[in-house]
Amino acid sequence: MSSEKKNFFADRDIQIILGTLLRVGVIASMSVVLIGGLLYLFSDHAMLIDYRSFNPNKSGFSSIPAILTGLKDLDAKAIIQFGTLLLIFTPVARVVFSIFSFLIERDYLYVLIGLFVLSIILYSLSDKLVG
């Protein structure tokens, strides 16, 4: 018998979980965008769009609360935006899971690096860079 203490997760287990997390996130995002796109094509197919001027505030789905409100109403544009949010937050979830896996392994240098990367991602997603 070996007196060696086994880690909670082996490195291979963590790699499989992270790969599955990324794969499921991308597939879920793609599915939500596809459903929203189909709903948009069937509901708003006759609407004329003016491409000469661009106004990003016209969509009304530029914030997370607005997107969630649109999801309650099954608005096709909100469903597409939600799929895009899923795609954006998939790598964020990967970084968060990596931080917890490094905490379990007691690898504190990589926990600090992961927290630094997470803070950069969250800062870049905030409105502080838009001005």
The answer to whether 103 and 14 are in contact (CB under 8 A) is no
106 domain-assigned: yes
50 domain-assigned: no
49 domain-assigned: no
Domain count, the chain: 1
10 domain-assigned: yes
54 domain-assigned: no
What is the per-residue pLDDT across 82-124, written as a single tens digit (0 to 9) for each? 999 999 889 899 999 889 888 888 889 999 999 999 999 888 8
The answer to whether 29 and 97 are in contact (CB under 8 A) is no
What is the distance in angstroms between the CA of the first residue and the CA of the last residue of the chain? 63
55 domain-assigned: no
Q: What pLDDT band is residue 1 in, cutting at 50, 70 and 90?
A: very low
* Residue 36: how many other CB atoms lie within 10 Å: 22
12 domain-assigned: yes
52 domain-assigned: no
The boundaries of the domain holding residue 24 are: 3-43+60-129
Residues 6+ apart with CB under 8 A from 79: 32, 33, 35, 36, 39, 70, 71
Reported pTM = 0.73
* Residue 60: how many other CB atoms lie within 10 Å: 14
Q: Report the distance separating Cα 113 and Cα 94, nearest Å.
A: 14
The answer to whether 36 and 79 are in contact (CB under 8 A) is yes
What is the per-residue pLDDT across 14-36, written as a single tens digit (0 to 9) for each? 788 888 888 999 999 999 999 99
